[in-house]
Amino acid sequence: SPTDYGKIIFSTVSGTTTFGIYDGSVLQNNTTYLSVMDGLEASNITAGYSGDYSYDGRTWAWTLENSILKNGDPSANLWDLVVGDCIGCITEDTIDTIEEIGDSIGTEFSQLSHKGASATASFANMNTYDCNLFDKEGACFSIGVRHTDINGNNNSDSSSSGAVAVSGYKFNENFRVSGFVDQQAARRNPKGLKVSNKGPMIGGNLVWNQFANHLGFQVRVANAYQAKDMTITRSEIGEAEKGRGETDIEVQSYVAEVSYQFSDGVNFYQPYLAARRSIIKQEGYTETEVANPLTFNTLEDKSTTVIIGMKVKYKLDDTVTLNGAFGVEHDVSNKVDKIQATSSTITGITPVDLNTRINKTRPVVTLGATYHISPNQTLSAQTQYQELSYTSTSAKTAYVNYTVGF
């Protein structure tokens, strides 16, 4: 930095030396670093009075000046490093700001993907966004609260909380349908993003059971959809100015699942196999209220995932049932666009990877309990931990709900 840099003092000097700048140093444009050398006369420096220093795509012109000769003292031995303009700094600094928001966009994509996939796949391996407690009228209603925390990269963590309502209807002993609404109530945005709902996340399930007691085969198809408004703000880094733009983002998720449930009289076991198709799309946008606005491309994240796992229920007594599940997700296909920014005043901006290393195979673990208030009323709590496809990101979710059958 201009105030914290290396200096050297020479004493009892003989011979000559050449001055240079240490590789890996980052210089400040148009800055004088005072007294970088003390104790050398001009005759001790055979070369290195000026030059160009390059690092990480940036090149600075520099000059070594005798700080007291500038004031008319011919015997001076104190030297300043004068740094001029930088070639490439605005381009490289701009790329750094794009990489920074790329981490935050990746975290947001992870959260949207997690919520959409969780809703359609019942939090990947538990029946949270379903309603299957029925009474004489064959109807079901559930209301609850959810909190999701995303551990992202480089100061891009985020979280959200919401209220969830689910309703279900049983056509007969084998077919039932349910629909849900997840309305976000609060959230913590990753750095540089401000995200707000255009509406709640919505979706539904259609389920076929082989038998009325839910033993045997079960086939489920589900979908979820959500749209959001998003304001993206780039940081001011080096010569790159702060930029701001507005866009919108939507997620669609579709799941088909086949499972088989059996029981030993106390425990229930349900191995399952599922396939999920997720599509996330962020519209392109141009920054406003900035001297050098950037125009960003439309981004899409498309993935096809296979999920295999086991759900287990244990009846602790007549009122309490414990449940757990373990599953493994594997992406059989991924297509994630790179962030490409263009500018009429800044050249050489290269594409930035939104996901530098896709985590294709990921575990998901669930634990929960259900309290049976009466034959047609339950109170449930569920927790889940899941690794996500974006590099080094994970999600933790807690969900509590009350269900009543009619």
**pLDDT on residue 122:** 40
Q: What is the mean pLDDT of the chain?
A: 88
pTM (predicted TM-score): 0.78
| Per-residue pLDDT tens digits for 238-293 | 889 999 999 999 989 899 999 999 999 889 999 999 999 999 999 999 999 898 99
Task: State how far the Cα of 202 lies from the Cα of 119, in Å rounded to an integer.
Answer: 9
> Pick from 283, 203, 210: which is nearest to 250 by CA?
283
Contacts (Cβ under 8 Å, ≥6 apart) of 348: 88, 91
Instruction: For strands 377-387 and 361-374, give the pairing.
Output: antiparallel
**pLDDT on residue 156:** 63
Domain annotation for the chain: domains and CATH numbers: 8-87 (no CATH), 91-405 (2.40.128.130)
| Per-residue pLDDT tens digits for 158-208 | 888 999 999 999 999 999 999 999 998 888 888 889 988 888 989 999 999
Whether the pLDDT of residue 126 is over 50: the answer is no
Task: State how far the Cα of 152 lies from the Cα of 165, in Å rounded to an integer.
Answer: 28
> Which tops the pLDDT comparison, 324 or 70?
324
Average pLDDT over residues 226-248: 92
| Per-residue pLDDT tens digits for 50-64 | 899 998 888 999 999
Q: pLDDT band for position 343 (50/70/90)?
A: very high
Average pLDDT over residues 384-393: 81
Task: State how far the Cα of 178 lies from the Cα of 336, in Å rounded to an integer.
Answer: 32
- Name, of 69-83, 145-159, 379-393, the range with top average pLDDT: 379-393
Contact 309, 330 (CB under 8 A): no
SS (H, E, C) 166-225: EEEEECCCCEEEEEEEEEEEEEECCCCEEEEECCCEEEEEEEEECCCCCCEEEEEEEEEE
Whether the pLDDT of residue 33 is over 90: the answer is yes
Whether the pLDDT of residue 345 is over 70: the answer is yes
Task: State how far the Cα of 118 lies from the Cα of 178, in Å rounded to an integer.
Answer: 15
Half-sphere exposure (Cβ direction) of 63: Cα atoms closer than 13 Å: 9
* Chain center to CA of 297: 18
**pLDDT on residue 389:** 81
**pLDDT on residue 310:** 95
Helices (H), 13-83: none
The encoded tokens of residue 32 equal 């004088």
**pLDDT on residue 123:** 44
Task: State how far the Cα of 164 lies from the Cα of 366, in Å rounded to an integer.
Answer: 19
